[in-house]
Chains A and B, each alone.
Chain A
Amino acid sequence: MNNLLVLPVLLPMAIAVFLMFFRKKIVLQRTLGVIGGIANIAIAAFIVMKVRSEGILTLRLGGWEPPYGIVFVADMFAAVLVLAASITGFAVLLYSFASIGREREEHYYYTFFHFLLVGVYGSFMTGDIFNLFVFFEVMLISSYALITLGGSKKQMREAPKYLLVNILSSTLFVAGVAYLYASVGTLNMAHLSLRIAEAGQGGVLNVIAVLFLIVFSLKAGLFLFFWLPGSYASPPFAVRALFGGLLTKVGLYAIVRTFTLIFPGDPSFTNGWIAAMAAVTMLLGGIGAVAYRDIPRILNYNILIGVGFVAFGLATGSRDGMDGVVFYMVHDILSKGLMFILGGMLIAAAGSDKLDRMGGLMKVRPGLGWMFFILALALTGIPPLSGFAGKVLIVRGGLDEGMLALSLLALASSLLTLYSLVKIFREAFWGTEPENEDEETESDAKQASGAGRSSEAALGKTKAFAGVSAVFLLLFVIGLGLAANGAYGFASQAGAVLDNPGLYIEAVLKE
């Protein structure tokens, strides 16, 4: 029993509800957001340290014994993801000050922002599959609001499709829960794992497993990512940073949790599917990132490469692969958030999102240029930075299991990541400044950076927050790489639970 576990969910929820009543008081909204963000990082860090010393923590909500009530479970995997998500969330909050614009701030932007965080933290912490659905919905409904907030033509075109895809996958989620409840008669994840192990996974349980794989893949953008590049290209960059950093990772977390805890019984079947989907995702994501010449699309396809990489780590099914999954997901949450923040700053500085209209920015914004370069190296997995350790572990896991072709594909996708990001670096920061031809795409870039013409003056004061948020996240990206040896201890504790679901079951169902 540990009431601490409910705090990461409770705190942003309280802030979100409170801010609803003060929509015009922007200074109050920002101040509360900053205080809440810092408090959440502190709470998450405290939970991580507590899990480190005491093992898996559980909280039985309402005092109901599992498997009857809902439990919150913080194993190391969930705890470090909550920590990484709260760090990225805080950075995106700071970046929002600089870029989101007064209009949106007055129309409940911060309320929805905090509700989205509620859904993300809750999804990581819950130990009940229907409760996972509910937290998914909290997160998704906030994301519906954030993706439509502003009401530009582009958003109005993409948002209905985004809603449709997510409503469909949520419907299938409920159908999956129905089948699961019919076949094993429980919804607590630990209890599900126990019952399915008793019944022997196969036949109808494999069908249910694939149904859940479809549901979570739709949300994570694993193979079923057709909706992602378009939808993620419509909201302002602060929202994209939130989506790219957190939303897809929650889907990915659900895949990892489901297939290590609930359906680990038939790895030759499930891992085969996941491996194939991961391969296609990495390949198509890489091709997309290399092929396009506008920055939003390049960045969106880079999300997919990361998703495919983590899924590949899961598909190896080895201990090294699991450690790598944990490590790489933390890195991915931090660095994808940073990638969109830097992308937004870059587009705001260049005044266009097309590479052909950029050049010579190194003279004007050298700091931004070098930060982008370091990020490109981190995403590729160059040693002293955060992407390296995760990639090494995942690829080593893959080679140990004899998945040579997939390991090579994973490495090739890293190369494509490097190429696509260096392409941005080379053309936007080096080269010569293009002549200002026409103003046709100006408005689009303004929309992308969130700066409406009317709020330009108000934003002037807060522009500095963009740089602060980027430096803040970059420090974590570099720090995670430099302290990889220490961080490996945490990742390995998390990987142990993923590798052996018995630990999780014992912690939840003991007494």
Chain B
Amino acid sequence: MEWIMAIAVGALFMIGVYLILSKSLLRVILGTSLLTHGVHLLLLTMAGLKRGAAPVLGGGADSYADPLPQALILTSIVISFGITALYFVLAYRSYQTRGTDEIDGKEAGDKGAES
């Protein structure tokens, strides 16, 4: 199982990095979104893929899955979900204000990006 996960994580990282390197803000956001997915899969894989029982202690369970990484991933998913939503809104607002979707792009009606 691990090797499938490793390939999936690698692919997500690769696509994410590729998208982040593009100029369009929309692609960049999709890239960060894929990158965080990749990290979540990584966290799941690194904590050990077990096909054990539910993580219940005391019920006489012989094998159980580690519940901690799932809790971590859940937290991380919630955070990245919120940030992605905020980023999309910001990108839209940035597009409205500046008239371009490009990071560092030439702005409509502006003399140029002098920072």
Chain A residues with CB under 8 Å of chain B are 130, 133-134, 137, 141, 144-145, 148, 151-154, 156-161, 163-164, 167-168, 170-171, 174-175, 177-179, 181-182, 187, 230, 233
Contacts and interface: CB of A to CB of B under 8 A. Distances in A.
Interface of B: 20, 25, 28, 32, 35-36, 39-40, 42-43, 46-48, 68-69, 72, 75-76, 79-80, 82-83, 86-87, 90-91, 93-94, 97-98, 103-104, 107, 110, 113, 115
Contacts of B83: 137, 141, 144, 163, 167
Given A179-B46, A181-B46, A182-B46, A160 B39 contact: no
Given A160-B103, A182-B47, A171 B39 contact: yes
A148 B89 CA distance: 11
Contacts of A152: 97
Given A134-B79, A148-B90, A174-B39, A181 B47 contact: yes
Given A157-B115, A171-B39, 11 more contacts: A137-B83, A144-B83, A151-B93, A156-B97, A157-B94, A160-B25, A160-B103, A177-B43, A178-B42, A178-B43, A179-B46
B98 A178 contact: no
Nearest to B94: A156
Instruction: Give the secondary structure class of A's interface.
Output: helix
A157 B79 contact: no
Given A168-B32, A178-B43, A160 B90 contact: yes
A168 B35 CA distance: 8
A204 to B, nearest CB: 12
Given A160-B94, A174-B76, A233 B115 contact: yes
A144 B86 contact: yes
Contacts of A181: 43, 46-47, 68-69, 72
Given A164-B28, A167-B87, A153 B97 contact: yes
B95 to A, nearest CB: 9
B90 A168 contact: no
8 contacts: A134-B75, A137-B79, A137-B83, A141-B83, A156-B98, A167-B80, A179-B46, A181-B68
Contacts of A159: 90, 94
Given A134-B79, A174-B39, A151 B32 contact: no
A133 B86 CA distance: 19
